[in-house]
Amino acid sequence: MTIEQQVIEWRRHIHKHPEFGFEEALTSAMVAQKLEEFGIEVHRNIGETGVVGILKCGDSDRSIGLRADMDALHIHEQNCFAHTSVHEGVMHACGHDGHTAMLLGAAHELSRSRDFDGTVYFIFQPGEEHGLGAKAMIADGLFTKWKIDAIYAMHNLPGIPEGQFVTRPHSLMASESSFEIDVIATGGHAAMPHMGTDPIVVGAQIVSAMQTIVSRNLSAINETAVISVTEFATNGTVNVIPSQVKITGDTRSFTDEALGKIEKAIERIVAGQCMSAGVEYKYHFNNSFLSTINSPEQTAFAVKAAEAVVGKENVNGNCEPFTISEDFSFMLREVKGCYILVGNGLGECGGTALHNPNYDFNDNILMKGVNYWKVLVEQQLAN
């Protein structure tokens, strides 16, 4: 069996047996077992179900970390092929099956060739989708137990031609936060609004005023952001003014400064509108992902490795940023590094969107990913 056939088999096996974040018992056991078969030192349960493999060659103290995510989503798969999920309601709809298989393939290849001088850390992370896996590995000492000089990650992306690589220095992807606003009034009879306080009028003013945050509080040049109100719920009925309005939503931004401004600006608007109407409020802001910030130096290294694998014409090292989010962002706050996207394909061949029940990782790009990891290590830890 060729390495490509082997990696395809692993990928389809993982796809068929998907596991949700922090429940990756079978996947992490498979990863640990394969790494041991390759003669790689294995550390289990780093961040609950996370696995770290360590491969050292020569005596240089240089090191590099390569990270893949292993978790699946709570989606009912609509595909019907031999490797369709056998776990009802759980599906690898984000391609983490491919990421895990590619990093295993690279571990296999590097353990055979051993053409580098230094230490490679193969980091198999749990629970990326809920944003807790990277934090859990960091809390378990990923960067204090081990000295990892720089860290890299790769994710597939439908809509980019098969096997093309794209990345950029600085902010590649957005932070993601959610907010919850409760406007607490008295409510009352719809015919006699003057007898009480009305949270709907206040809530509507809050939603309108929030539109000024991006347009009036953030820089048009370097503080791109999105603020979306996604729910507006009341406990009223046709002839009853409600006593409560709940407004929830989601916000994305590319710098920590913009994120901080948004959190404060929403509360300022809520407090001001509620005070002027004489009603109470509760405000809760929750950050799930920080923006993914690539260091320029490591981005140049990642681009160089990708160009060596697929040619200069298939690598864009200065793509536009994406408003999607990734918990590798938390690792990049600990250690400098680079996140790169690899095209999953277009149209019928790999173009189905991430998190769609008909998505599938494109097996044609597996070896491009394996070779990217291998070349990156051989270039960064060159003999």
Contact residues for Zn ion (CB under 5 A)?
94
Of 179 and 359, which has the nearer Cβ to Zn ion? 359
Distance, CA of 231 to CA of 247 (rounded, Å) = 6
Q: Is 167 helix (H, G, I), strand (E, B) or coil?
A: coil
Q: Would you call 38 exposed, middle or buried from its count of C-beta atoms within 10 A (0-12, 13-18, 19+)?
A: middle
Q: Does the annotation mark 182 as catalytic?
A: no
Written as one letter, the residue type at 369 is G
Whether the CB-CB separation of 247 and 181 falls below 8 Å is answered with: yes
Q: Which of 48, 71, 176, 360 is catalytic?
A: 71
Choose between 204 and 324: whose C-beta lies nearer to Zn ion.
Answer: 324
Q: Is 360 a catalytic residue?
A: no
Q: Confirm if 48 and 127 have CB atoms less than 8 A apart.
A: yes
C-alpha to C-alpha distance for 56 and 277, rounded to whole angstroms: 66
Nearest approach in angstroms of CB 139 to Zn ion is 21
Q: Are 381 and 60 in contact (CB under 8 A)?
A: yes
128: amino acid identity, one letter: E
**What's CA 286's distance to the chain center, in Å?**
16
* Residue 294, both tokens: 């690539």
DSSP state letters, 238-259: TTEE-SEEEEEEEEEESSHHHH
State the DSSP H helix or E strand holding residue 36, giving kind and residue range, or none if neither. helix 25-37
Give the amino acid at 320: E
Is 94 or 181 the residue whose CB approaches Zn ion more closely?
Answer: 94
Q: Are 341 and 154 in contact (CB under 8 A)?
A: yes
| Amino acid present at 274 | C
In the complex, the smallest distance separating the C-beta of residue 227 from Zn ion, rounded to whole angstroms, is 22
**Least distance (Å) from Zn ion to the CB of residue 61?**
32
Residue whose CB is less far from Zn ion, 110 or 173: 173
Q: To the nearest whole angstrom, how small is the minimum distance from the Cβ of residue 185 to Zn ion?
A: 39
Cβ partners under 8 Å of residue 37, min gap 6:
none
Cβ proximity to Zn ion: between 154 and 315 the closer is 154
Shortest spacing between CB 129 and Zn ion, in angstroms: 5
Instruction: Decide whether 155 or 374 has the Cβ nearer to Zn ion.
Output: 155
Q: Which among 66, 68, 84, 65 has a CA at the least distance from the CA of 76?
A: 84
Instruction: Choose between 130 and 304: whose C-beta lies nearer to Zn ion.
Output: 130
- Tell the smallest beta-carbon distance from residue 232 to Zn ion (Å): 27
**Contact 165/316 with Cβ under 8 angstroms?**
yes
Who contacts 141 (Cβ-Cβ below 8 Å, separation ≥6)?
46
Taking the complex as a whole, the smallest distance from the CB of residue 3 to Zn ion amounts, in Å, to 24
Catalytic residue among 128, 176, 198, 360: 128
Residues tagged active-site: 71, 128
